[in-house]
Structure 1
Amino acid sequence: MHQTIGSISYYYSLFSMILAMSGMVLFNASPIITNYKNGAFTSQGSENIRLIACIDHHREIFKFTEELSSFFGPVLGFNYAYHMCACCLLMMECSQGDVDAIIRFGPLTIIVFGQLVQMSVIFEIVDTVSEKLKDSVYDVPWESMDTRNCRLVIILLNRVQSPLHVTAMGITPVGVTTMAGILFT
Protein backbone atom coordinates (compact mmCIF):
# COMPACT_ATOMS: atom_id res chain seq x y z
CA MET A 1 0.00 0.00 0.00
CA HIS A 2 2.71 2.47 0.99
CA GLN A 3 4.63 1.67 -2.23
CA THR A 4 1.59 2.68 -4.27
CA ILE A 5 1.25 5.92 -2.32
CA GLY A 6 4.97 6.56 -2.70
CA SER A 7 4.90 6.05 -6.46
CA ILE A 8 1.79 8.23 -6.85
CA SER A 9 3.45 10.94 -4.80
CA TYR A 10 6.64 10.67 -6.84
CA TYR A 11 4.86 10.96 -10.18
CA TYR A 12 2.69 13.81 -8.90
CA SER A 13 5.80 15.69 -7.78
CA LEU A 14 7.49 15.07 -11.12
CA PHE A 15 4.39 16.22 -13.02
CA SER A 16 4.08 19.35 -10.85
CA MET A 17 7.75 20.22 -11.35
CA ILE A 18 7.49 19.84 -15.14
CA LEU A 19 4.38 22.04 -15.23
CA ALA A 20 6.01 24.66 -13.02
CA MET A 21 9.18 24.82 -15.09
CA SER A 22 7.37 25.03 -18.42
CA GLY A 23 5.00 27.64 -17.01
CA MET A 24 7.87 29.81 -15.82
CA VAL A 25 9.61 29.58 -19.19
CA LEU A 26 6.45 30.53 -21.10
CA PHE A 27 5.54 33.22 -18.56
CA ASN A 28 8.94 34.90 -18.91
CA ALA A 29 9.42 34.38 -22.66
CA SER A 30 6.16 35.89 -23.91
CA PRO A 31 6.76 39.49 -22.68
CA ILE A 32 10.28 39.47 -24.16
CA ILE A 33 8.98 38.39 -27.55
CA THR A 34 6.19 40.98 -27.41
CA ASN A 35 8.63 43.74 -26.47
CA TYR A 36 10.95 42.76 -29.29
CA LYS A 37 8.09 42.86 -31.81
CA ASN A 38 7.01 46.28 -30.54
CA GLY A 39 10.51 47.68 -30.97
CA ALA A 40 11.42 47.93 -27.30
CA PHE A 41 15.08 47.40 -28.08
CA THR A 42 15.37 50.43 -30.34
CA SER A 43 16.43 53.82 -29.02
CA GLN A 44 13.35 55.77 -30.14
CA GLY A 45 10.90 56.56 -27.35
CA SER A 46 12.45 54.09 -24.97
CA GLU A 47 10.84 55.77 -21.93
CA ASN A 48 7.32 55.31 -23.27
CA ILE A 49 8.07 51.76 -24.36
CA ARG A 50 9.41 50.93 -20.88
CA LEU A 51 6.29 52.43 -19.33
CA ILE A 52 4.02 50.46 -21.65
CA ALA A 53 6.02 47.30 -20.94
CA CYS A 54 5.65 47.84 -17.17
CA ILE A 55 1.90 48.39 -17.50
CA ASP A 56 1.48 45.31 -19.69
CA HIS A 57 3.60 43.25 -17.33
CA HIS A 58 1.53 44.38 -14.33
CA ARG A 59 -1.70 43.53 -16.15
CA GLU A 60 -0.30 40.12 -17.06
CA ILE A 61 0.78 39.31 -13.50
CA PHE A 62 -2.51 40.58 -12.07
CA LYS A 63 -4.54 38.55 -14.56
CA PHE A 64 -2.38 35.47 -13.94
CA THR A 65 -2.79 35.64 -10.14
CA GLU A 66 -6.54 36.27 -10.39
CA GLU A 67 -7.08 33.35 -12.77
CA LEU A 68 -4.84 31.08 -10.73
CA SER A 69 -6.58 32.03 -7.48
CA SER A 70 -10.06 31.58 -8.89
CA PHE A 71 -9.30 28.27 -10.61
CA PHE A 72 -6.95 26.62 -8.11
CA GLY A 73 -8.13 28.42 -4.94
CA PRO A 74 -10.37 25.64 -3.59
CA VAL A 75 -7.86 22.96 -4.54
CA LEU A 76 -5.05 24.86 -2.81
CA GLY A 77 -7.21 25.36 0.29
CA PHE A 78 -8.03 21.67 0.55
CA ASN A 79 -4.43 20.80 -0.25
CA TYR A 80 -3.16 22.94 2.62
CA ALA A 81 -5.79 21.42 4.92
CA TYR A 82 -4.66 17.94 3.85
CA HIS A 83 -1.01 18.82 4.47
CA MET A 84 -1.83 20.22 7.89
CA CYS A 85 -3.71 17.06 8.95
CA ALA A 86 -1.39 14.59 7.21
CA CYS A 87 1.77 16.20 8.59
CA CYS A 88 0.38 16.12 12.13
CA LEU A 89 -0.68 12.48 11.85
CA LEU A 90 2.55 11.37 10.21
CA MET A 91 4.69 13.18 12.76
CA MET A 92 2.62 11.60 15.54
CA GLU A 93 3.22 8.15 14.05
CA CYS A 94 6.95 8.82 13.64
CA SER A 95 7.22 10.14 17.20
CA GLN A 96 6.49 6.68 18.61
CA GLY A 97 10.19 6.08 18.28
CA ASP A 98 10.22 2.42 17.37
CA VAL A 99 12.05 1.33 14.24
CA ASP A 100 8.94 -0.17 12.65
CA ALA A 101 7.03 3.14 12.72
CA ILE A 102 9.98 5.13 11.39
CA ILE A 103 10.56 2.68 8.54
CA ARG A 104 6.86 2.65 7.70
CA PHE A 105 6.01 6.35 8.04
CA GLY A 106 9.39 8.11 7.69
CA PRO A 107 9.65 8.13 3.88
CA LEU A 108 6.00 9.11 3.48
CA THR A 109 6.49 11.96 5.95
CA ILE A 110 9.49 13.23 3.99
CA ILE A 111 7.55 13.03 0.72
CA VAL A 112 4.53 14.90 2.11
CA PHE A 113 6.75 17.62 3.59
CA GLY A 114 8.65 17.82 0.29
CA GLN A 115 5.43 18.34 -1.66
CA LEU A 116 4.34 21.08 0.74
CA VAL A 117 7.67 22.89 0.41
CA GLN A 118 7.71 22.46 -3.37
CA MET A 119 4.18 23.81 -3.83
CA SER A 120 4.78 26.77 -1.54
CA VAL A 121 8.07 27.76 -3.18
CA ILE A 122 6.53 27.60 -6.65
CA PHE A 123 3.78 30.01 -5.66
CA GLU A 124 6.28 32.25 -3.89
CA ILE A 125 7.88 32.86 -7.30
CA VAL A 126 4.79 34.85 -8.33
CA ASP A 127 5.37 37.17 -5.35
CA THR A 128 9.01 37.58 -6.38
CA VAL A 129 8.02 38.56 -9.92
CA SER A 130 5.59 41.09 -8.43
CA GLU A 131 8.43 42.61 -6.40
CA LYS A 132 10.65 42.84 -9.48
CA LEU A 133 7.89 44.74 -11.25
CA LYS A 134 7.84 47.31 -8.45
CA ASP A 135 11.57 47.92 -8.92
CA SER A 136 11.11 48.15 -12.68
CA VAL A 137 8.44 50.83 -12.34
CA TYR A 138 10.65 52.80 -9.95
CA ASP A 139 13.41 52.75 -12.58
CA VAL A 140 11.26 54.28 -15.35
CA PRO A 141 12.78 57.68 -16.29
CA TRP A 142 9.68 59.75 -15.58
CA GLU A 143 11.63 63.02 -15.48
CA SER A 144 11.82 63.20 -19.27
CA MET A 145 8.16 62.29 -19.88
CA ASP A 146 5.26 64.58 -20.60
CA THR A 147 2.65 65.36 -17.93
CA ARG A 148 0.17 62.72 -19.08
CA ASN A 149 2.74 59.92 -18.84
CA CYS A 150 4.02 61.22 -15.47
CA ARG A 151 0.49 60.91 -14.08
CA LEU A 152 0.32 57.42 -15.51
CA VAL A 153 3.57 56.51 -13.75
CA ILE A 154 2.17 57.79 -10.44
CA ILE A 155 -0.97 55.70 -10.84
CA LEU A 156 1.11 52.65 -11.74
CA LEU A 157 3.39 53.24 -8.74
CA ASN A 158 0.34 53.25 -6.47
CA ARG A 159 -0.95 50.00 -8.02
CA VAL A 160 2.32 48.08 -7.71
CA GLN A 161 2.74 48.96 -4.03
CA SER A 162 0.45 46.14 -2.94
CA PRO A 163 1.97 42.75 -3.74
CA LEU A 164 0.01 40.29 -5.85
CA HIS A 165 -0.63 36.94 -4.16
CA VAL A 166 -2.21 33.70 -5.25
CA THR A 167 -4.79 32.95 -2.57
CA ALA A 168 -6.33 29.72 -1.36
CA MET A 169 -10.11 30.20 -1.56
CA GLY A 170 -9.60 33.96 -1.23
CA ILE A 171 -8.64 33.52 2.42
CA THR A 172 -4.91 33.11 2.80
CA PRO A 173 -2.05 33.84 0.44
CA VAL A 174 -0.23 30.75 -0.82
CA GLY A 175 3.49 30.87 -0.20
CA VAL A 176 6.33 30.21 2.16
CA THR A 177 4.75 31.99 5.14
CA THR A 178 1.65 29.77 4.97
CA MET A 179 3.93 26.74 4.68
CA ALA A 180 5.84 27.87 7.76
CA GLY A 181 2.55 28.21 9.63
CA ILE A 182 1.65 24.62 8.73
CA LEU A 183 5.10 23.34 9.70
CA PHE A 184 4.90 25.03 13.10
CA THR A 185 1.49 23.42 13.78
Structure 2
Amino acid sequence: MLTSRKNCLLFSKMSYLIQQRLAMPWMAEYRQVIKEFLKNIHLFHQKDKSEYANKIYKNVEKICYIFTLFVHIQLYFGILLFNVTPTYKNFRAGMYGSNKPVNATYETAVYIYLPFDYVTDIKGHIFVSFMGWFLTCICSTSFCLWHLLLSLMVFHLWGNLKILEHNIYNFPKPANHQMKRIGISWYTEEESKKISTLIVELVNHHRNIMDFISKTSSAYSFFLLLNFSFYQIVGCIILLKCSTLNSEALGNYAPLTVVLFQQLIQISVIFELLGSQSEKIIDAVYGLPWECMKLKERKLVLFFLQNVQEPIHPKACGMIPVGVQTMAAILKACFSYYIMLRTVTTTEEMT
Protein backbone atom coordinates (compact mmCIF):
# COMPACT_ATOMS: atom_id res chain seq x y z
CA MET A 1 0.00 0.00 0.00
CA LEU A 2 2.79 2.42 0.89
CA THR A 3 4.58 1.68 -2.39
CA SER A 4 1.41 2.39 -4.36
CA ARG A 5 0.91 5.69 -2.57
CA LYS A 6 4.51 6.69 -3.20
CA ASN A 7 4.13 5.97 -6.93
CA CYS A 8 0.91 7.99 -7.14
CA LEU A 9 2.47 10.92 -5.26
CA LEU A 10 5.64 10.82 -7.34
CA PHE A 11 3.97 10.84 -10.74
CA SER A 12 1.17 13.23 -9.75
CA LYS A 13 3.75 15.81 -8.62
CA MET A 14 5.76 15.30 -11.80
CA SER A 15 2.63 15.66 -13.94
CA TYR A 16 1.63 18.88 -12.19
CA LEU A 17 5.09 20.37 -12.62
CA ILE A 18 5.21 19.35 -16.29
CA GLN A 19 1.84 21.00 -16.94
CA GLN A 20 3.10 24.21 -15.36
CA ARG A 21 6.22 24.24 -17.53
CA LEU A 22 4.31 23.44 -20.71
CA ALA A 23 2.00 26.39 -19.97
CA MET A 24 4.87 28.90 -19.71
CA PRO A 25 5.18 29.67 -23.48
CA TRP A 26 1.60 30.99 -23.40
CA MET A 27 2.55 33.58 -20.77
CA ALA A 28 3.16 37.06 -22.21
CA GLU A 29 5.72 37.78 -19.48
CA TYR A 30 7.73 34.68 -20.38
CA ARG A 31 7.69 35.49 -24.10
CA GLN A 32 8.87 39.01 -23.34
CA VAL A 33 11.84 37.61 -21.39
CA ILE A 34 12.90 35.41 -24.32
CA LYS A 35 12.51 38.33 -26.72
CA GLU A 36 14.58 40.59 -24.46
CA PHE A 37 17.27 37.94 -24.13
CA LEU A 38 17.67 37.57 -27.89
CA LYS A 39 17.55 41.32 -28.60
CA ASN A 40 19.76 42.72 -25.82
CA ILE A 41 21.40 40.19 -23.51
CA HIS A 42 22.81 37.58 -25.91
CA LEU A 43 26.58 38.14 -26.20
CA PHE A 44 26.26 38.29 -29.97
CA HIS A 45 25.50 41.99 -29.45
CA GLN A 46 28.72 42.53 -27.46
CA LYS A 47 31.28 40.51 -29.42
CA ASP A 48 32.26 43.27 -31.87
CA LYS A 49 32.74 45.99 -29.25
CA SER A 50 36.20 44.88 -28.09
CA GLU A 51 38.70 42.05 -28.32
CA TYR A 52 37.95 40.99 -24.75
CA ALA A 53 34.18 40.93 -25.45
CA ASN A 54 34.79 38.70 -28.47
CA LYS A 55 36.89 36.38 -26.29
CA ILE A 56 34.15 36.13 -23.66
CA TYR A 57 31.57 35.54 -26.40
CA LYS A 58 33.55 32.60 -27.80
CA ASN A 59 34.14 31.12 -24.32
CA VAL A 60 30.47 31.37 -23.35
CA GLU A 61 29.38 29.91 -26.69
CA LYS A 62 31.73 26.96 -26.10
CA ILE A 63 30.34 26.46 -22.58
CA CYS A 64 26.77 26.65 -23.89
CA TYR A 65 27.51 24.13 -26.65
CA ILE A 66 29.08 21.59 -24.25
CA PHE A 67 26.32 22.11 -21.70
CA THR A 68 23.57 21.75 -24.33
CA LEU A 69 25.18 18.57 -25.65
CA PHE A 70 25.37 17.12 -22.13
CA VAL A 71 21.72 17.90 -21.38
CA HIS A 72 20.52 16.40 -24.68
CA ILE A 73 22.50 13.20 -24.08
CA GLN A 74 20.91 13.06 -20.65
CA LEU A 75 17.47 13.67 -22.15
CA TYR A 76 17.69 10.97 -24.84
CA PHE A 77 19.27 8.45 -22.49
CA GLY A 78 16.44 8.96 -19.99
CA ILE A 79 13.75 8.50 -22.65
CA LEU A 80 15.43 5.39 -24.03
CA LEU A 81 16.05 3.73 -20.68
CA PHE A 82 12.58 4.48 -19.33
CA ASN A 83 10.88 2.85 -22.33
CA VAL A 84 13.30 0.03 -23.09
CA THR A 85 13.28 -1.32 -19.52
CA PRO A 86 9.61 -2.57 -19.53
CA THR A 87 10.04 -3.88 -23.10
CA TYR A 88 13.06 -5.91 -22.04
CA LYS A 89 11.20 -7.25 -19.01
CA ASN A 90 8.28 -8.33 -21.21
CA PHE A 91 10.66 -10.01 -23.63
CA ARG A 92 12.48 -11.81 -20.82
CA ALA A 93 9.16 -13.01 -19.40
CA GLY A 94 8.17 -14.47 -22.79
CA MET A 95 5.27 -12.06 -23.33
CA TYR A 96 6.11 -11.59 -27.03
CA GLY A 97 6.41 -15.31 -27.82
CA SER A 98 3.79 -17.73 -29.09
CA ASN A 99 3.58 -19.43 -25.69
CA LYS A 100 2.74 -16.48 -23.48
CA PRO A 101 2.65 -17.31 -19.73
CA VAL A 102 -0.80 -17.86 -18.27
CA ASN A 103 -2.32 -14.87 -16.40
CA ALA A 104 0.76 -12.76 -17.20
CA THR A 105 0.41 -9.06 -17.93
CA TYR A 106 2.41 -6.65 -20.07
CA GLU A 107 4.48 -3.96 -18.41
CA THR A 108 4.51 -0.49 -19.93
CA ALA A 109 6.34 2.75 -19.27
CA VAL A 110 3.06 4.53 -18.44
CA TYR A 111 -0.21 3.34 -16.95
CA ILE A 112 -3.33 5.29 -17.82
CA TYR A 113 -7.09 4.69 -17.76
CA LEU A 114 -8.29 3.59 -21.21
CA PRO A 115 -11.56 2.01 -22.42
CA PHE A 116 -9.74 -1.07 -23.70
CA ASP A 117 -7.43 -3.72 -22.30
CA TYR A 118 -3.71 -3.13 -22.78
CA VAL A 119 -2.23 -5.24 -19.97
CA THR A 120 -3.15 -8.60 -21.54
CA ASP A 121 -3.99 -7.73 -25.17
CA ILE A 122 -0.97 -7.33 -27.49
CA LYS A 123 -2.64 -4.71 -29.73
CA GLY A 124 -3.57 -2.51 -26.81
CA HIS A 125 -0.09 -2.98 -25.38
CA ILE A 126 1.56 -1.82 -28.63
CA PHE A 127 -0.65 1.27 -28.75
CA VAL A 128 0.12 2.22 -25.14
CA SER A 129 3.82 1.54 -25.70
CA PHE A 130 3.91 4.09 -28.53
CA MET A 131 1.93 6.47 -26.35
CA GLY A 132 4.53 5.91 -23.61
CA TRP A 133 7.32 7.04 -25.92
CA PHE A 134 5.36 10.18 -26.75
CA LEU A 135 4.54 11.02 -23.13
CA THR A 136 8.05 10.36 -21.84
CA CYS A 137 9.46 12.59 -24.60
CA ILE A 138 7.20 15.41 -23.40
CA CYS A 139 8.13 14.81 -19.75
CA SER A 140 11.87 14.61 -20.36
CA THR A 141 11.83 17.63 -22.66
CA SER A 142 9.91 19.78 -20.19
CA PHE A 143 12.26 18.83 -17.35
CA CYS A 144 15.61 19.06 -19.13
CA LEU A 145 15.06 21.87 -21.64
CA TRP A 146 13.39 24.14 -19.07
CA HIS A 147 16.56 24.06 -16.98
CA LEU A 148 18.73 24.26 -20.09
CA LEU A 149 17.15 27.49 -21.37
CA LEU A 150 17.35 29.13 -17.95
CA SER A 151 20.98 28.04 -17.59
CA LEU A 152 21.93 29.41 -21.01
CA MET A 153 20.43 32.79 -20.13
CA VAL A 154 22.42 32.84 -16.89
CA PHE A 155 25.64 31.99 -18.78
CA HIS A 156 25.12 34.97 -21.07
CA LEU A 157 24.32 37.21 -18.09
CA TRP A 158 27.57 36.06 -16.50
CA GLY A 159 29.40 36.92 -19.73
CA ASN A 160 27.84 40.40 -19.75
CA LEU A 161 28.99 40.95 -16.17
CA LYS A 162 32.52 39.80 -17.07
CA ILE A 163 32.63 42.29 -19.96
CA LEU A 164 31.26 45.06 -17.74
CA GLU A 165 33.87 44.29 -15.07
CA HIS A 166 36.67 44.38 -17.64
CA ASN A 167 35.47 47.70 -19.07
CA ILE A 168 35.36 49.25 -15.59
CA TYR A 169 38.83 48.03 -14.63
CA ASN A 170 40.19 49.33 -17.94
CA PHE A 171 38.60 52.74 -17.61
CA PRO A 172 40.93 55.36 -19.18
CA LYS A 173 43.13 57.30 -16.76
CA PRO A 174 43.76 61.04 -17.18
CA ALA A 175 46.75 62.29 -19.13
CA ASN A 176 49.66 63.86 -17.25
CA HIS A 177 48.02 67.19 -16.47
CA GLN A 178 49.23 67.77 -12.94
CA MET A 179 47.78 70.23 -10.48
CA LYS A 180 51.00 71.25 -8.77
CA ARG A 181 49.18 72.53 -5.75
CA ILE A 182 47.70 69.14 -4.75
CA GLY A 183 49.52 66.71 -7.04
CA ILE A 184 46.44 65.10 -8.71
CA SER A 185 46.00 64.41 -12.42
CA TRP A 186 42.76 65.91 -13.72
CA TYR A 187 40.82 65.10 -16.86
CA THR A 188 40.90 67.84 -19.47
CA GLU A 189 37.72 69.26 -20.98
CA GLU A 190 38.03 66.99 -23.99
CA GLU A 191 38.76 63.95 -21.80
CA SER A 192 35.81 64.79 -19.55
CA LYS A 193 33.41 64.60 -22.49
CA LYS A 194 34.75 61.18 -23.46
CA ILE A 195 34.69 59.72 -19.97
CA SER A 196 31.21 61.10 -19.39
CA THR A 197 30.03 59.13 -22.44
CA LEU A 198 31.89 56.02 -21.21
CA ILE A 199 30.31 56.20 -17.76
CA VAL A 200 26.85 56.53 -19.28
CA GLU A 201 27.54 53.46 -21.45
CA LEU A 202 28.65 51.47 -18.38
CA VAL A 203 25.56 52.57 -16.44
CA ASN A 204 23.26 51.64 -19.34
CA HIS A 205 24.95 48.25 -19.74
CA HIS A 206 24.48 47.50 -16.05
CA ARG A 207 20.90 48.77 -16.13
CA ASN A 208 20.08 46.50 -19.09
CA ILE A 209 21.47 43.52 -17.17
CA MET A 210 19.54 44.37 -14.02
CA ASP A 211 16.30 45.04 -15.93
CA PHE A 212 16.56 41.65 -17.64
CA ILE A 213 17.27 39.90 -14.33
CA SER A 214 14.25 41.63 -12.79
CA LYS A 215 12.00 40.51 -15.68
CA THR A 216 13.40 36.97 -15.56
CA SER A 217 12.89 36.74 -11.80
CA SER A 218 9.32 37.92 -12.20
CA ALA A 219 8.57 35.44 -15.01
CA TYR A 220 10.27 32.45 -13.36
CA SER A 221 9.60 33.31 -9.72
CA PHE A 222 6.52 31.16 -9.13
CA PHE A 223 7.88 28.30 -11.22
CA LEU A 224 11.15 28.28 -9.27
CA LEU A 225 9.11 28.01 -6.07
CA LEU A 226 7.19 25.06 -7.54
CA ASN A 227 10.49 23.57 -8.62
CA PHE A 228 11.94 23.72 -5.11
CA SER A 229 8.70 22.35 -3.62
CA PHE A 230 8.83 19.46 -6.07
CA TYR A 231 12.39 18.52 -5.09
CA GLN A 232 11.49 18.83 -1.41
CA ILE A 233 8.59 16.38 -1.72
CA VAL A 234 9.72 14.01 -4.47
CA GLY A 235 13.44 13.81 -3.66
CA CYS A 236 12.94 11.60 -0.62
CA ILE A 237 10.50 9.33 -2.50
CA ILE A 238 12.81 8.53 -5.40
CA LEU A 239 15.65 7.90 -2.94
CA LEU A 240 13.40 5.41 -1.19
CA LYS A 241 12.53 3.72 -4.49
CA CYS A 242 16.24 3.27 -5.28
CA SER A 243 17.13 2.09 -1.80
CA THR A 244 15.98 -1.48 -2.53
CA LEU A 245 19.05 -1.76 -4.84
CA ASN A 246 17.43 -4.39 -7.08
CA SER A 247 17.84 -4.22 -10.85
CA GLU A 248 14.21 -3.28 -11.51
CA ALA A 249 14.19 -0.33 -9.12
CA LEU A 250 17.58 0.92 -10.29
CA GLY A 251 16.60 0.61 -13.95
CA ASN A 252 13.36 2.54 -13.44
CA TYR A 253 14.37 5.17 -10.89
CA ALA A 254 18.16 5.56 -10.75
CA PRO A 255 18.40 7.66 -13.96
CA LEU A 256 15.46 9.78 -12.79
CA THR A 257 17.12 10.31 -9.41
CA VAL A 258 20.43 11.34 -10.97
CA VAL A 259 18.78 13.74 -13.42
CA LEU A 260 16.53 15.41 -10.86
CA PHE A 261 19.25 16.02 -8.28
CA GLN A 262 21.72 17.05 -10.98
CA GLN A 263 19.24 19.67 -12.21
CA LEU A 264 18.75 21.02 -8.69
CA ILE A 265 22.51 21.30 -8.16
CA GLN A 266 23.02 22.69 -11.67
CA ILE A 267 20.56 25.58 -11.40
CA SER A 268 21.66 26.45 -7.86
CA VAL A 269 25.39 26.55 -8.65
CA ILE A 270 24.85 28.55 -11.85
CA PHE A 271 22.81 31.21 -10.04
CA GLU A 272 25.41 31.31 -7.27
CA LEU A 273 28.06 31.94 -9.94
CA LEU A 274 26.01 34.86 -11.23
CA GLY A 275 25.70 36.33 -7.74
CA SER A 276 29.44 36.06 -7.01
CA GLN A 277 30.28 37.76 -10.33
CA SER A 278 27.90 40.63 -9.56
CA GLU A 279 29.73 41.27 -6.27
CA LYS A 280 32.95 41.87 -8.22
CA ILE A 281 31.27 44.77 -10.04
CA ILE A 282 30.98 46.63 -6.74
CA ASP A 283 34.74 46.51 -6.16
CA ALA A 284 35.38 47.47 -9.78
CA VAL A 285 33.22 50.62 -9.54
CA TYR A 286 34.98 51.61 -6.30
CA GLY A 287 38.23 51.58 -8.28
CA LEU A 288 37.11 54.19 -10.83
CA PRO A 289 39.34 57.33 -10.75
CA TRP A 290 36.54 59.57 -9.46
CA GLU A 291 39.02 61.84 -7.68
CA CYS A 292 40.33 62.99 -11.08
CA MET A 293 36.88 63.88 -12.40
CA LYS A 294 34.85 67.04 -12.33
CA LEU A 295 31.62 67.37 -10.38
CA LYS A 296 29.35 66.23 -13.23
CA GLU A 297 31.28 63.00 -13.79
CA ARG A 298 31.55 62.37 -10.04
CA LYS A 299 27.77 62.51 -9.77
CA LEU A 300 27.53 59.89 -12.54
CA VAL A 301 30.02 57.65 -10.71
CA LEU A 302 28.08 58.07 -7.46
CA PHE A 303 24.86 57.14 -9.25
CA PHE A 304 26.58 54.10 -10.74
CA LEU A 305 27.97 53.11 -7.34
CA GLN A 306 24.53 53.26 -5.77
CA ASN A 307 23.08 51.05 -8.52
CA VAL A 308 25.63 48.25 -8.10
CA GLN A 309 25.46 48.04 -4.31
CA GLU A 310 22.97 45.18 -4.22
CA PRO A 311 24.41 41.88 -5.54
CA ILE A 312 22.32 39.70 -7.83
CA HIS A 313 20.53 37.06 -5.77
CA PRO A 314 17.20 36.11 -7.42
CA LYS A 315 14.50 34.77 -5.13
CA ALA A 316 11.62 32.41 -5.79
CA CYS A 317 8.42 34.40 -5.13
CA GLY A 318 10.60 36.97 -3.39
CA MET A 319 11.13 34.60 -0.45
CA ILE A 320 13.56 31.75 -1.22
CA PRO A 321 17.01 32.71 -2.58
CA VAL A 322 18.18 30.63 -5.53
CA GLY A 323 21.66 29.40 -4.62
CA VAL A 324 23.76 26.73 -2.99
CA GLN A 325 22.43 27.37 0.51
CA THR A 326 18.86 26.63 -0.57
CA MET A 327 20.12 23.60 -2.51
CA ALA A 328 21.93 22.28 0.58
CA ALA A 329 18.82 22.79 2.72
CA ILE A 330 16.64 20.87 0.23
CA LEU A 331 19.11 17.98 -0.05
CA LYS A 332 19.40 17.79 3.75
CA ALA A 333 15.61 17.72 4.12
CA CYS A 334 15.27 15.06 1.37
CA PHE A 335 17.70 12.73 3.14
CA SER A 336 15.97 13.32 6.48
CA TYR A 337 12.53 12.47 5.06
CA TYR A 338 14.04 9.50 3.22
CA ILE A 339 15.34 8.04 6.48
CA MET A 340 11.91 8.53 8.06
CA LEU A 341 10.07 6.85 5.16
CA ARG A 342 12.63 4.05 5.11
CA THR A 343 11.96 3.40 8.78
CA VAL A 344 8.18 3.34 8.21
CA THR A 345 8.55 0.95 5.23
CA THR A 346 10.80 -1.41 7.20
CA THR A 347 8.34 -1.41 10.13
CA GLU A 348 5.40 -2.27 7.83
CA GLU A 349 7.33 -5.08 6.15
CA MET A 350 8.23 -6.58 9.54
CA THR A 351 4.61 -6.47 10.72
Aligned positions of 1:92-111 closer than 5 A? 92-111=240-259
User: What letter is aligned with 1:175?
Assistant: G
Q: 1:75 to 1:22 in 2, by over 3 A?
A: closer
* Alignment partner, residue 274 of structure 2: 126
Q: Is the 8 A contact 1:134 1:161 kept in 2?
A: yes
- 2:220 aligned with 1:72, yes or no? yes
When the two structures are superposed, what TM-score results if normalisation uses the length of structure 1? 0.75
Greater RCO (Cα-Cα under 8 Å, separation 6 or more): 1
By how many angstroms is 1:113 displaced? 0.7
* Alignment partner, residue 152 of structure 2: 21
By how many angstroms is 1:80 displaced? 1.0
- Once the two structures are superposed, residues 155-177 of structure 1 have per-residue CA deviations (whole angstroms, 9 ceiling, x without a partner) of 43244222122211111121222
* Alignment partner, residue 36 of structure 1: none
By how many angstroms is 1:89 displaced? 0.9
- 2:301 aligned with 1:182, yes or no? no
- Once the two structures are superposed, residues 56-98 of structure 1 have per-residue CA deviations (whole angstroms, 9 ceiling, x without a partner) of 2331232122111111101111011111112111112222344
Q: 1:6 to 1:135 in 2, by over 3 A?
A: farther
- Aligned residue pairs: how many? 178
RMSD of aligned alpha carbons: 3.5
- Once the two structures are superposed, residues 125-146 of structure 1 have per-residue CA deviations (whole angstroms, 9 ceiling, x without a partner) of 4313422321321221111111
The 2-side partners of 1:182 and 1:149 are apart by 47
User: What letter is aligned with 1:17?
Assistant: L
- 2:229 aligned with 1:81, yes or no? yes
* Alignment partner, residue 289 of structure 2: 141
Aligned positions of 1:41-56 closer than 5 A? 44-45=191-192, 47-56=195-204
User: What letter is aligned with 2:269?
Assistant: V
> After alignment, is 9-18 or 135-144 more displaced?
9-18
> After alignment, is 88-97 or 120-129 more displaced?
120-129
Higher normalized helix content (fraction of residues): 1
SS in 1 for 2:288: coil
Q: Is the 8 A contact 2:154 2:271 kept in 1?
A: no
By how many angstroms is 1:112 displaced? 0.5
Structure 1 alignment gaps of length 5 or more: 33-39
Q: Is the 8 A contact 1:6 1:108 kept in 2?
A: no
By how many angstroms is 1:14 displaced? 4.8
Which 4+ runs in 1 deviate beyond 6 A?
none
Q: 1:181 to 1:104 in 2, by over 3 A?
A: same
Aligned to 1:63, which of 182, 192, 211?
A: 211
> After alignment, is 43-52 or 121-130 more displaced?
43-52
User: What letter is aligned with 2:287?
Assistant: D
Q: 1:19 to 1:180 in 2, by over 3 A?
A: closer
Q: 1:6 to 1:106 in 2, by over 3 A?
A: farther
The 2-side partners of 1:25 and 1:69 are apart by 15
Q: Is the 8 A contact 2:282 2:308 kept in 1?
A: yes
Q: 1:141 to 1:47 in 2, by over 3 A?
A: farther
- 2:293 aligned with 1:166, yes or no? no
Percent of pairs identical after alignment?
33
When the two structures are superposed, what TM-score results if normalisation uses the length of structure 2? 0.43
Structure 2 alignment gaps of length 5 or more: 1-78, 84-132, 164-170, 175-190, 334-351
The 1-side partners of 2:278 and 2:318 are apart by 18
> After alignment, is 100-109 or 49-58 more displaced?
49-58
The 1-side partners of 2:143 and 2:248 are apart by 26
Q: 1:72 to 1:15 in 2, by over 3 A?
A: closer
Q: Is the 8 A contact 1:91 1:109 kept in 2?
A: yes
User: What letter is aligned with 1:78?
Assistant: L
